C-alpha cells in the first residue's frame, strides 16, 4: 500500500484524537457546522441558479459557435488553436461546462495534438472566475466587486494565450 492511501484516514484520526484530548463534544461541533453550512448554501443558491441558467442559455443559443467562427481568422495569426476557443469562453463561467467542452476537444483532437495539449493546460491552469466570485462573494456578503472582476477578466483574456505559448515553447 502507498503512503498516500493513508493520508485522509490519518488526518481524520488526528482530528478526532485532538478533539478527545481537548474534551470537545465532536457531535455537537459537527452538527453546528452542518447547520451553519446549510444557511450558507441557502444564501448562495439564488446566485448559483442564475449562473447555471446563464451558462445553459449561452451554450444552447449557439453563441459559442458564432464567436469561435468569428475569432478563428484572428486566432490563426496568433497560433492559438481555434478548437480551444469554446473552452477559453466557457471556462471563466462554468467548471462543468468547461469539462464538457474539454471532453469535446479531446474527442475531436488527439490528446497529444497541439490543441489537445493547449486544452489540457488551459483546463488545469485557468479558473472559473464568475463561479468563484458568485460563490465566495455571496457567501461572505461582499457587494462591491470593485477591482476583482476587471482583474480576473484580464487573466481570463491572457490566460489561454499564455497556455498556448507555454505548450508551444515547452512541449514542442
pLDDT digits (tens, 9 = 90+) for 28-46: 998 998 998 898 888 878 8
CA–CA separation, 123 and 125 (whole Å): 6
Query: Do residues 101 and 86 touch, judged by C-beta distance below 8 A?
Result: yes
DSSP conformation class of 112: T
CA–CA separation, 166 and 158 (whole Å): 12
CA–CA separation, 126 and 160 (whole Å): 8
Half-sphere exposure of residue 169: CA atoms within 13 angstroms, side-chain side: 6
Check residue 115 and give its pLDDT: 92
Query: Is the pLDDT assigned to residue 51 strictly greater than 80?
Result: no
Q: List, for residues 117-167, the tens digit of each pLDDT value.
A: 999 999 988 888 887 887 788 778 887 878 888 888 898 889 999 999 999
- Show the beta-strand stretches assigned E in 88-151: none
Nearest to 113 by CA among 167, 158, 154: 167
Nearest to 46 by CA among 54, 56, 34: 54
CA–CA separation, 137 and 54 (whole Å): 18
CA–CA separation, 93 and 150 (whole Å): 14
Name the CA radius of gyration of the chain, rounded.
21
Q: How confident is the model at residue 107 (pLDDT cuts 50, 70, 90)?
A: very high
Check residue 104 and give its pLDDT: 87
Average of per-residue pLDDT values in the chain: 86
Check residue 121 and give its pLDDT: 92
Work out the average pLDDT over 96-114.
88
pTM above 0.85, yes or no: no
Check residue 172 and give its pLDDT: 64
Q: List, for residues 60-94, the tens digit of each pLDDT value.
A: 898 888 888 888 888 878 889 988 988 998 888 87
Check residue 3 and give its pLDDT: 75
Query: Is the pLDDT assigned to residue 59 strictly greater than 80?
Result: no
Amino acid at each position: 500500500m502507498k503512503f498516500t492511501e493513508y493520508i485522509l484516514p490519518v488526518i481524520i484520526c488526528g482530528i478526532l484524537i485532538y478533539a478527545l484530548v481537548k474534551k470537545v463534544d465532536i457531535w455537537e461541533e459537527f452538527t453546528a457546522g452542518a447547520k451553519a453550512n446549510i444557511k450558507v448554501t441557502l444564501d448562495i443558491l439564488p446566485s448559483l441558479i442564475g449562473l447555471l441558467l446563464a451558462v445553459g442559455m449561452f451554450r444552447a443559443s449557439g453563441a459559442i459557435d458564432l464567436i469561435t467562427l468569428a475569432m478563428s481568422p484572428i486566432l490563426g495569426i496568433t497560433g492559438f488553436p481555434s478548437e480551444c476557443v469554446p473552452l477559453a469562453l466557457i471556462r471563466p463561467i462554468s467548471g462543468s461546462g468547461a469539462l464538457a467542452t474539454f471532453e469535446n476537444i479531446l474527442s475531436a483532437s488527439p490528446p497529444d495534438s497541439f490543441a489537445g495539449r493547449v486544452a489540457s493546460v488551459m483546463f488545469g491552469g485557468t479558473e472559473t472566475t464568475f463561479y468563484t466570485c458568485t460563490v465566495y462573494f455571496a457567501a461572505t456578503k461582499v457587494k462591491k466587486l470593485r477591482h476583482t472582476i476587471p482583474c480576473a477578466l484580464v487573466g481570463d483574456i491572457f490566460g489561454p494565450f499564455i497556455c498556448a505559448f507555454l505548450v508551444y515553447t515547452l512541449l514542442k
